Amino acid sequence: MVKEKDDSDDGKEPGLTSIPGIGPGIASKLEAAGIYDLMGLAVMSPPALSELAGVGEAVARKAIQAARGMMKLGFMDGAEFDKRRADVHYITTGSKSLDGLFGGKGIESRAITEAYGAFGSGKTQLGLTLTVNVQLPKERGGSEGKAVYIDTEGTFRPDRIKQIAEGIGANPEKVLKNILVARAFNSDHQILLLDKITEMIKENNEPIKLVVIDSLTAHFRAEFSGRGQLADRQQKLNKYLHHLMKLAEQHNVAIYVTNQVMANPAMMFGDPTTAIGGNIVGHASTYRVYLRRGKQGTRVAKMIDAPNLPENEAAFFLTPHGVRDESPE
Ligand code: GTP
Ligand code: MG
């Protein structure tokens, strides 16, 4: 995917006030609404900006155009594109087999990786393992960074983190300190927390390299459960996913999200389960894997969707030390 230039290239992108018509007063209004940079401004619509900033639509349109111009929104040349790909980083899953499914090095930055599957299939355990492994040095498969864990179901367990940390020979307390956990109480709160992450990266300079959202869809599913609400739910989910992608792109972060399945009675053969959010989530996710229980205590991951990888399967184990190739017994 070709994306716009952003602040992560050189770290000296001009601020909002470099745009004609936007003074410090308007800039702080925008910031209060979660728009911190030219990218945020460039993707706004003139009426939205006009309302938010209290300026006329003509001024708003000019400002947006200026921001787009400065961002060279849309295209970049091949060399620039190549340079961007070069700073992609990877996080090992803890299993060579599962890393192999993702092309060899685990999950990657500037991408959304979605794991969906039934309860107990290992979605949360993989997420917890990644929050530990992201802290590993590069040569051991990590990204030398911190993790954010957005917990919608109250499944974050510090004790599990400590066990997984011990498994890689790290100091459990230090590892725990590098994981920023927030409980999202509903979908609006979950959405709001994304802005917080951007803030943490930009203002506090936190070296966040991984964002886990467990689960991506549970709140949306619960809150928009009526028949007539499906379109609203999908629209909200769609917007959320776009924000996620923007976070991944702008700050070179890896994003791992979990998703539940629902029974699909229309399917007669194979595994009759479908991911919640369907195509909306599927299209936004860069990598999509389906997790299920396999034989003899294994878990099996199947690559459902990936830009340039075959539809393979990989087996792994859930152990006290997180995701591994070897059985815990
Ligand atoms: P839901 O969130 O309910 O949809 O499921 P999930 O896919 O998130 O499942 P999760 O990742 O929580 O996996 C739970 C499974 O992990 C359990 O059934 C156990 O098999 C395994 N598990 C969890 N903790 C441990 C542990 O300490 N040791 C071992 N060996 N397995 C564990
Ligand atoms: Mg779970």
Q: What is the Å distance from ligand 1's center to 150 Cα?
A: 18
Question: Which pLDDT score, from 0 to 100, does residue 5 have?
Answer: 41
| CATH number assigned to the domain comprising residue 43 | 1.10.150.20
Instruction: Read off the pLDDT of residues 51-104 as tens digits, 9 standing for 90 and up.
Output: 888 999 999 999 988 888 877 655 666 777 777 777 899 999 999 999 999 999
Mean of the per-residue pLDDT values of the chain: 87
Q: Does residue 167 share a domain with residue 46?
A: no
Q: Does residue 108 share a domain with residue 55?
A: no
Question: Which pLDDT score, from 0 to 100, does residue 48 have?
Answer: 85
d(CA 138, CA 327): 26
Higher-scoring residue by pLDDT: 120, 45: 120
Q: Across the chain, how many H-helices and E-strands are there?
A: 13, 13
| Domain assignment of residue 310, yes or no | yes
Q: Does residue 37 share a domain with residue 165?
A: no
Q: Does residue 139 share a domain with residue 42?
A: no
Q: Does residue 94 share a domain with residue 135?
A: yes
| Domain assignment of residue 151, yes or no | yes
Segment 235-256 shows an average pLDDT of 89
d(CA 9, CA 240): 24
Q: Among residues of the chain, what percentage have pLDDT more than 90? A: 57
Instruction: Read off the pLDDT of residues 158-184 as tens digits, 9 standing for 90 and up.
Output: 999 999 999 999 999 999 999 999 999
Token match 């990936």: residue? 306
Segment 131-147 shows an average pLDDT of 97
Question: Which pLDDT score, from 0 to 100, does residue 37 have?
Answer: 79
Q: Which ligand 1 atom sits closest to the C-alpha of 258?
A: 8
| Domain assignment of residue 289, yes or no | yes
Q: Does residue 49 share a domain with residue 138?
A: no
Q: Does residue 163 share a domain with residue 15?
A: no
What residues flank ligand 1, with Cβ below 6 Å? 117, 119-125, 260, 318-320, 328
Residue 12 domain boundaries:
7-71
Q: Does residue 155 share a domain with residue 252?
A: yes
| Domain assignment of residue 76, yes or no | no
Q: Does residue 186 share a domain with residue 49?
A: no
| Domain assignment of residue 219, yes or no | yes
Q: What is the Å distance from ligand 1's center to 213 Cα?
A: 16
| Domain assignment of residue 329, yes or no | no
In this structure, what are the phi and psi dihedrals at residue 180, rounded to the nearest 5 degrees?
-95, 115
**pLDDT surpasses 80 at 265:** no
Segment 145-168 shows an average pLDDT of 96
Query: Of 23, 39, 71, which residue constitutes the final position of a domain?
Result: 71
**pLDDT surpasses 50 at 2:** no
d(CA 161, CA 102): 23
Token match 């983190």: residue? 161
Q: Which ligand 1 atom sits closest to the C-alpha of 260?
A: 4
Q: Does residue 172 share a domain with residue 314?
A: yes
d(CA 243, CA 236): 11
- Take atom 22 of ligand 1 and give the residue whose Cα is closest: 318
Residues facing 273 on adjacent strands: 263
Q: Does residue 25 share a domain with residue 157?
A: no
Token match 């199947």: residue? 302
The number of domains in the chain is 2
| CATH number assigned to the domain comprising residue 187 | 3.40.50.300
**pLDDT surpasses 70 at 110:** yes
In this structure, what are the phi and psi dihedrals at residue 115, rounded to the nearest 5 degrees?
-115, 125
| Domain assignment of residue 223, yes or no | yes
- Take atom 24 of ligand 1 and give the residue whose Cα is closest: 320
Q: Does residue 226 share a domain with residue 124?
A: yes
